[in-house]
């Protein structure tokens, strides 16, 4: 077994969830740099490949946005399976609830999946969102979403569903990745 592969010799699929500004994309990219083969599948990037008709996330969850998220998550799950079976460590990142993992995991039978809920304080999430440069739209539109998601995504529900929960509020990017790499996962 090489670093980055599970017990079967296949790649591990990391699933990182958290509110906007939790650090999912930055942590995913830094985490994958620790493996010989790594693929980052940010759901936002898949969604932004839509050339016309892209529906952006909103607090009221417009039906078209919900449909487009489901399509992007299915595409990510299928791509993750393909790459993990070829020995890649894969990181899928999105704002996910435990039920969303079940939706995606139906594509991952026989693969090792490591779900992580990245948690930050509201202040840290807003500051990270204000200073981000990886989006093609005005990220201030995400501020109400960050506020609305905070009470909807308590770390407790993730722990109860078997997710690892990491509070990265006071951690550097490197320290957050080190924490993830030290987590113990069921064999």
Asked whether residue 187 is domain-assigned, the answer is no
Whole-angstrom distance between the N-terminal and C-terminal Cα of the chain? 13
pLDDT band at 133; cut points 50, 70, 90: low
Per-residue pLDDT tens over the stretch 25-71: 999 999 999 999 999 999 989 998 999 999 987 778 899 999 999 99
pLDDT at 143: 74
Residue 123 falls inside a structural domain? yes
Closest to 161 in 3D by CA, of 116, 111, 118: 116
Range of the structural domain that residue 23 is part of: 13-182
Q: Is residue 6 part of a domain?
A: no
DSSP 4-61: TB-TTSSBPEEEEE-STTS-HHHHHHHHHTTSSSEEEEEHHHHHTT--S------TT-
Whether 155 is covered by a domain: the verdict is yes
Q: Supply the pTM of this predicted model.
A: 0.87
Q: Please report the pLDDT score of residue 175 as a whole number.
A: 97
* Collapsed DSSP state (helix, strand, coil) of residue 118: strand
Measuring CA to CA, which residue among 17, 48, 28, 37 is closest to residue 155? Answer: 17
Indicate whether 4 pLDDT > 70.
Answer: no
């Amino acid at each position: 077994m090489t670093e980055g592969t599970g017990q079967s010799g296949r790649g591990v699929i990391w699933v990182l969830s958290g509110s906007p500004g939790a650090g999912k994309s930055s942590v995913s990219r830094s985490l994958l740099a620790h493996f010989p083969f790594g693929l980052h599948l940010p759901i936002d990037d898949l969604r932004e490949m839509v050339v016309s008709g892209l529906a952006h996330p909103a607090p009221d969850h417009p039906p078209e946005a919900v449909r487009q998220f489901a399509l992007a998550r299915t595409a990510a799950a299928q791509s993750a399976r393909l790459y993990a079976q070829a020995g890649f460590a894969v990181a899928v990142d999105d704002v996910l609830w435990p039920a969303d993992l079940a939706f995606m995991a139906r594509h991952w039978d026989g693969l090792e999946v490591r779900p992580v809920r990245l948690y930050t304080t509201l202040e840290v999430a807003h500051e990270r969102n204000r200073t981000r440069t990886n989006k093609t739209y005005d990220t201030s539109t995400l501020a109400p979403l960050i506020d609305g998601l905070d009470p909807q995504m308590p770390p407790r529900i993730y722990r109860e569903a078997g997710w690892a929960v990491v509070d990265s509020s006071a951690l550097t990017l490197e320290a957050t990745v080190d924490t993830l790499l030290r987590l113990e996962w069921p064999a």
